[in-house]
Amino acid sequence: MNDEHSRTLYDRALSVMPGGVNSAVRAAIEPYPFFVQKGDGGHVIDADGNRYVDWVMGLGPLLLGHDLPEAVTAAIQQRASEGPMYGTPTEVEVDLAEFVVRHVPSVEKIRFVNSGTEATTSAVRLARGYTGRNKIVVMQGGYHGAQESTLVEGDADDPKPSSAGVPQSFAEHTLPVPFNDEDAVREVFEEHGDDIAAVMSEPILGNYGIVYPEDGYLEFLREITDEYGALFILDEVITGFRVGGLGCAQSEFGVTPDITTFGKIVGGGFPVGAIGGRAEIIEQFAPSGDVFQAGTFSGHPVTMAAGLETLRFAAENDVYDHVDRLGDRLRSGLTDIVADQAPEYTVVGTDSMFKVIFTRDGPGAGSLEEQCTSGCRQDPTCPRYDYCPKNAGDVTRAETDRWRRLFWGRMKEQGIFLSQNQFECQFVSYAHTDEDVEETLEAYKEAL
């Protein structure tokens, strides 16, 4: 596979951009990332003309794939040609806000911003402003963007900045606990309950190999935050309008957070974030409240139009049936392949998310008949239950080097573009086909 153009472009990029990229994770592909020339349905074509089935889909925003339906393209082009933005409100912001409020059960009011990071940053400030408390409980390995309150590692007894530039005094307000561990959450509330402003969690860890919540875990987070007067922030930047369709993951799991953060799909492929929730909480944002929040580009008309038309298209067509069906086909096909070729590995994901985690131990090929067949559901009756990852630590202990250094490249050689490492998840779009699934499963058979 020729990659001369990508190599030359990366050479140029290294001279003018740190690590040659504009977002750290893009450099995870070694020795250098391939540069994309253009998308085509469920595929991308790189700078050297190589074509790949694309399961990365922009790391999540592209629910409809690379060829946008006519209505979406027309709305984007119209907005762009009418003068891209004005610094004063437009009708399309209200239309998209009304759409989200109508479909997402916990959202009575919403503020749009420009990225998932901005959404989670503002949500944390809002929770602190609303409760008058300082501390935030987060899940180890949960990713909430490049922001000071959540770039924290360690545990609740010893939180530390996970990035240079974050002061230790900031990290001390963040309490990381393992996902799916009720006792750990109970302990931090017993110790710090009167200073905890919020628990912030993804409903499914989407940046750590995909870890599904144990039955009752999200409900537990809802109950304990209520008990201590803290807020429950559900970070649906990945799962929003992907898991559970237009009602998002919260409707699939039947939990009602106080605040939801959105990003990715709600902007239809353009930069976006949003903070939604109970009216009395969201009203605390300036100018109706005293939690300052503002942005030159927030509610950008092109983004709002792309998001609105994408979601309208999803509401009026069989988008979720299609992506969930192909997601199911991928996960069940992978379950069979893994049972045959690498029985210690775990197939994870739900709806249109999927991944294989290279776990080191499994129950043995002979005892897999009763296993979860469409991605790990943390089912205690599944023979894999004692082995499947329950939190980020479990995923870290998987064969992450084998995944990235050996497996990823073998898939790329066969024309399959998977996310950069063991941790980021993969997405099905409306543009993907049954043939893409077949081709991908064949490639997994070769590469595993």
Ligand X SMILES: Cc1ncc(COP(=O)(O)O)c(C=O)c1O
Active site residues: 143, 235, 264
| Dist CA 116 CA 216 (whole Å) | 26
Per-residue DSSP letter, 347: E
Answer yes or no whether residue 300 interacts with ligand X by CB under 6 A.
Answer: no
Q: Terminus-to-terminus CA distance in the chain, angstroms? A: 20
Tokens of residue 219, six digits: 């409900």
Answer yes or no whether residue 129 interacts with ligand X by CB under 6 A.
Answer: no
| Dist CA 129 CA 211 (whole Å) | 31
| Dist CA 89 CA 326 (whole Å) | 39
At its nearest, how many Å lie between ligand X and the CB of residue 170?
Answer: 18
Q: By C-beta, is 50 or 120 nearer to ligand X?
A: 120
Whether 266 contacts 311, CB under 8 Å: yes
Q: By C-beta, is 202 or 399 nearer to ligand X?
A: 202
Q: By C-beta, is 235 or 309 nearer to ligand X?
A: 235
At its nearest, how many Å lie between ligand X and the CB of residue 61?
Answer: 8
Answer yes or no whether residue 263 interacts with ligand X by CB under 6 A.
Answer: yes
| Dist CA 229 CA 193 (whole Å) | 8
At its nearest, how many Å lie between ligand X and the CB of residue 406?
Answer: 25
Q: Which residue among 129, 203, 206, 375 contacts ligand X (CB under 6 A)?
A: 206
At its nearest, how many Å lie between ligand X and the CB of residue 351?
Answer: 15
Tokens of residue 157, six digits: 């007894």
Q: Which residue among 58, 116, 159, 299 contacts ligand X (CB under 6 A)?
A: 116
Q: Please identify which residue in the block is written with the tokens 């479909």.
A: 103
Whether 166 contacts 152, CB under 8 Å: yes
Q: By C-beta, is 238 or 348 nearer to ligand X?
A: 238
> Residue count at the site for ligand X (CB under 6 A)?
15
At its nearest, how many Å lie between ligand X and the CB of residue 262?
Answer: 9
Q: By C-beta, is 3 or 235 nearer to ligand X?
A: 235
Q: Which residue among 235, 309, 324, 394 contacts ligand X (CB under 6 A)?
A: 235
Tokens of residue 112, six digits: 């749009």
Q: Which residue among 6, 106, 117, 180 contacts ligand X (CB under 6 A)?
A: 117
| Dist CA 404 CA 179 (whole Å) | 24
Q: Which residue among 96, 237, 305, 416 contacts ligand X (CB under 6 A)?
A: 237
Q: Evaluate the CA torsion angle 204, 205, 207, 211 in order and state its sign.
A: negative
Q: Rule CB under 6 A: which of 133-192 touch ligand X?
A: 143-145
Residues in Cβ contact with 68 at an 8 Å cutoff, skipping those fewer than 6 apart: 76, 268, 269, 306, 310
Tokens of residue 94, six digits: 């209200």
Tokens of residue 132, six digits: 């008058």
| Residue whose beta carbon is closest to ligand X | 116
Q: By C-beta, is 120 or 298 nearer to ligand X?
A: 120
Q: Which residue among 64, 238, 411, 416 contacts ligand X (CB under 6 A)?
A: 238
For ligand X, the binding residues (CB under 6 A) are: 59, 115-117, 120, 143-145, 202, 206-207, 235, 237-238, 263
